Structure 1
């Protein structure tokens, strides 16, 4: 019984210590914000810091021409744009294609689009003929 009690107290102390450390990291981040830093708010708004008012704990960000004012607590973290790789840039195993292979890969796609357009036109004509024949049969 005592061992379980000691274990519970140790876990609570460890969680408390971890929470305080995270809180201190967030506080340091907010205090060290400089104009030009890209950030994301807890609501998902992405923008660059325009000004920081430490006295009132407010920050002004520019999000695509709109100036928005937030409290420090609304700032989630510094924003880093995730890397994006398009499916045309990798093979079926996820390995990057060379630039020459990329150009060659696009030609069949263009041809496939043209043939699909021709097939759609043919299907549309066949459907129109079938409707006309059905109308004549009635």
Structure 2
């Protein structure tokens, strides 16, 4: 008895199918590192632009106004006369000045008030056993449902 080894037919693209996942993984790693590099650069630019009088939020959520900057530290005034020294890397973001921002919310509130004044208010609907008022004017509790399980 003699066994013969017959080569199996292949599509010829075996090398590409093995390289495709590797190329995708390398591409994802490159893209993620590029994105992180941009974020680090933005943070470094923000910290470099800090000057006295700038309002900032730290990464821990502390809000304050920059009093002075050092090579490694920033002194923030978090309340009247209360100064805190934090590491420059702890500055999360700069709060923009609110010069023209105050007018916009008032206009938006006026638009909202106009829209709500035009909407008709629904009439009071009497629903039985919905925790309404009793005849003597006192509010009664909503009906309670029986327990769905037993306690040990």
Q: TM-score, normalised by structure 1?
A: 0.58
Between the aligned partners of 1:12 and 1:6, the Cα distance in structure 2 is 10
Name structure 1 gaps, 5 residues minimum. Answer: 102-121, 124-138
Residues 83-122 of structure 1: matches in 2 within 5 Å?
Answer: 89=109, 95-98=111-114
Larger radius of gyration: 2
Q: Which of the pair is proportionally richer in helix? A: 1
Q: Which residue of structure 2 aligns with residue 67 of structure 1?
A: 83
Conserved in 2, the CA contact under 8 Å of 1:46 and 1:79? no
Alignment RMSD, CA only? 2.7
- Deviation, 1:14, is 0.7
Q: Which residue of structure 1 aligns with residue 41 of structure 2?
A: 24
Name structure 2 gaps, 5 residues minimum. Answer: 1-17, 118-136, 139-152
Q: TM-score, normalised by structure 2?
A: 0.53
